[in-house]
Amino acid sequence: MSKPSCERGSVERRDVVIVGGGPAGLAAARHLADLGVTSVTVFEREQEAGGIPRHCGHTGFGWESHRRIWTGPGYAAALRRDVEGLDVRTGHTVLKIENGVLRVQNSDGVGEVGAKQILLATGTRETPRSARFVRGSRPKGVMNTGALQAHVYLQSHRPFERPLIVGTELVSFSAILTCRHLGIRPVAMIEENGRIAAPRPGDLVARLIFGVPVWTCSRLLAIEGREQVEAVEILRDGRQMRIACDGVVLTGQFVPEASLLATSPKVLLAGNVHGAVKTSGRCWREGWFAAQKIAGSLK
């Protein structure tokens, strides 16, 4: 799929450029082609398109868009099949958008591509430790859900045995499923608020089926350890506690990957780059509707 974005010193011209090769971006590309818009390019910074589902080994993907049920990698593969023959360029990072021109970097260097319409479908990312104000040392074993999924599903690597999961959003419970895939047994899941963020009975399922206790009114204060995480300090119901564990999974608190909006606010958005966090199927539908809007404007 990957090829040079443009020649040095020249500006390639396209009718539509889509930034992001996840469910929203690939759905938009496919539907634009179906609507007769052929001058379309998708830029994806990873070496393989498909977005976050590539790392999610559990089932539950595909019903909203394809009326099929797949695992995450299966769904990502279906999305890639949908755009076979279209101009999807992996390994391309968009550095800046200004006045309808995208500055794009790949292994061959940096070039420019001009577009009549630009769709930003760059998704979202979890809040890292640095933004959560967690004190303590910086040993191995502290990661977000995406990194955990990459370890487990892409590398078949077990980064820890007994981690603490921080957060109770839907992605937090996905982290439990990811752990279970390699026999990792979380010591607990904690939530700052008085109730879990995901719909109930997620906490009961975690405790009764997977053996992971869910503690509300609990906040991570500090991480201990030299080479590997050894323990954490938490504040639970107003009482400070030390919990032995060998890893910490920081889940949720999603932040849109919208840095490109700072240089070019006049672009269309689809998927998790804006609004509340949505399922992959809903992102796919947003991409589909964005394609209709773009096709109409080009006419």
**Percent of the chain whose pLDDT exceeds 90:** 79
pLDDT 10s digits, 232-282: 999 999 999 999 999 999 999 988 888 888 777 789 999 999 988 899 999
Residue 299 half-sphere exposure toward CB, CA atoms < 13 A: 10
- Check pLDDT > 70 for residue 7: no
- Say whether pLDDT at 36 is over 50: yes
For 108-164, the pLDDT digits (tens) are 999 999 999 999 999 998 888 888 889 998 999 999 999 999 899 888 999 999 999
Helix (H, G, I), strand (E, B) or coil at 274: coil
| 94-105 per-position pLDDT tens digit | 999 999 999 999
Domain(s) labelled CATH 3.50.50.60 in the chain stretch across 11-123+257-298, 127-250
pLDDT, position 275: 85
> Distance of CA 294 to CAs 106, 174, 176, 180, 219, Å?
26, 34, 39, 42, 45
Helices (H) and strands (E) in the chain, counts: 7, 20
Q: Which CATH class is domain 11-123+257-298?
A: alpha beta
From the candidate CATH numbers 3.50.50.60, 3.40.50.150, 3.40.220.10, 3.40.50.1820, the one assigned to the domain spanning 127-250: 3.50.50.60
